[in-house]
Structure 1
Amino acid sequence: MKISRRALVSGASVAGPALAWWLERAGWRVEVVERASQLRTGGQNVDVRGAARGVVRAMGLEDRLLAAGTGEAGIRFVDGAGRSLAEFPAGEGDSGGATAEAEVLRGRLAQLLVGACGDGVRWRWGDTIAALDQRPAGRDHEGVEVTFASGDRATYDLVVAADGGRSRTRDLVPGTDARLRPLGVTIAYGTVPPAADDDRWWRWYVAPGGRNVTLRPDGEGTTRAALAFAADPDGPAGLRLADLDDDGRLDLLRRRFTGAGWESERVLAGLAADPELYVEHLAQVRAARWTSGAVALLGDAAWAVTPLAGQGTSLAIAGAQVLVGEVEAALAAGGTVAEGLVAYERVMRPVVEDVQDLPPGVPRLAYPRSRVAVAAARTALRVAGSRPARRLAGLLPGGDDGPAWEVPDYPALTRPAGGAPT
Structure 2
Amino acid sequence: MSPRTVLVSGASVAGPTLAYWLERSGVSTTVIERFPELRSGGQSVDLRGAGRTVVQRMGIEDAVRAAGTGETGLQFVDSRGKIKAQFGSDTMDGEGPTAELEILRGDLGKILYDHTRDRTEYVFGDSITGIDDDGDRVRVSFEHSADRDFDIVVLAEGLRSRTRSMVFGDDVSIRDLGMYTSYFTIPRVESDTQWAQWSNAPGSRSVLLRPDNVGTTRATLSFMTDPKGYETLTVDDQKDVLRRTFSDAPFAARALAGLTDTPDFYFESLGQVTMSTWSKGRVVLLGDAGYCASPISGMGTSLATVGAYVLAGEIASHDDHRDAFTAYESIMRPYVDQAQKLASGAPRVANPKTKLGVATMNAVLGLASRIKITSLFGKFASPPSDKIDLPNYAVPIT
TM over 0.5: yes
| Counterpart position of 2:236 | 247
| Counterpart position of 2:350 | 366
| Counterpart position of 2:26 | 27
The answer on whether the counterparts of 1:215 and 1:224 sit within 8 Å (CA) in structure 2 is yes
Partner-residue secondary structure (3-state), 2:40: coil
**RMSD (Å), alpha carbons:** 2.1
**116, 127, 146: which one pairs with 2:140?**
146
| Counterpart position of 2:162 | 168
| Counterpart-to-counterpart distance in 1, 2:152 and 2:105 | 26
- How far apart are 1:251 and its partner, in Å? 1.6
Unaligned runs of 5+ in 2: none
Deviations 1:252-297 (A, max 9, x none): 11111112122x1110011221142111110111111101122100
Partner-residue secondary structure (3-state), 1:345: helix
Deviations 1:54-89 (A, max 9, x none): 111111101101111000001110112222111111
- How far apart are 1:326 and its partner, in Å? 1.1
The answer on whether the counterparts of 1:214 and 1:227 sit within 8 Å (CA) in structure 2 is yes
- How far apart are 1:123 and its partner, in Å? 0.8
C-alpha distance 31-172 of structure 1, shift in aligned 2 (>3 A): same
- How far apart are 1:126 and its partner, in Å? 1.0
Structure 1 ranges of 4+ moved more than 6 A = 386-389
| Counterpart-to-counterpart distance in 2, 1:258 and 1:399 | 32
| Counterpart position of 1:320 | 308
Letter in 2 for 1:344: Y
- How far apart are 1:381 and its partner, in Å? 1.3
More displaced 10-residue stretch of structure 1: 314-323 or 92-101: 92-101
1:226-241 equivalences in 2 (<5 Å):
226-232=220-226, 236=227, 239-241=228-230
C-alpha distance 268-399 of structure 1, shift in aligned 2 (>3 A): farther
Does 2:183 match 1:189?
Answer: yes
- How far apart are 1:385 and its partner, in Å? 4.9
The answer on whether the counterparts of 1:28 and 1:120 sit within 8 Å (CA) in structure 2 is no
Length, aligned pairs only = 398
The answer on whether the counterparts of 1:72 and 1:202 sit within 8 Å (CA) in structure 2 is yes
| Counterpart-to-counterpart distance in 2, 1:403 and 1:31 | 30
The answer on whether the counterparts of 1:50 and 1:94 sit within 8 Å (CA) in structure 2 is no
More displaced 10-residue stretch of structure 1: 169-178 or 350-359: 169-178
Identical aligned pairs, as a percentage?
A: 43
**149, 157, 164: which one pairs with 1:155?**
149
**359, 380, 387: which one pairs with 1:404?**
387
Unaligned runs of 5+ in 1: 137-141
Partner-residue secondary structure (3-state), 2:112: helix
C-alpha distance 351-316 of structure 1, shift in aligned 2 (>3 A): same
| Counterpart-to-counterpart distance in 1, 2:2 and 2:279 | 23
Partner-residue secondary structure (3-state), 1:32: strand
- How far apart are 1:35 and its partner, in Å? 0.5
| Counterpart position of 1:99 | 98
The answer on whether the counterparts of 2:85 and 2:369 sit within 8 Å (CA) in structure 1 is no
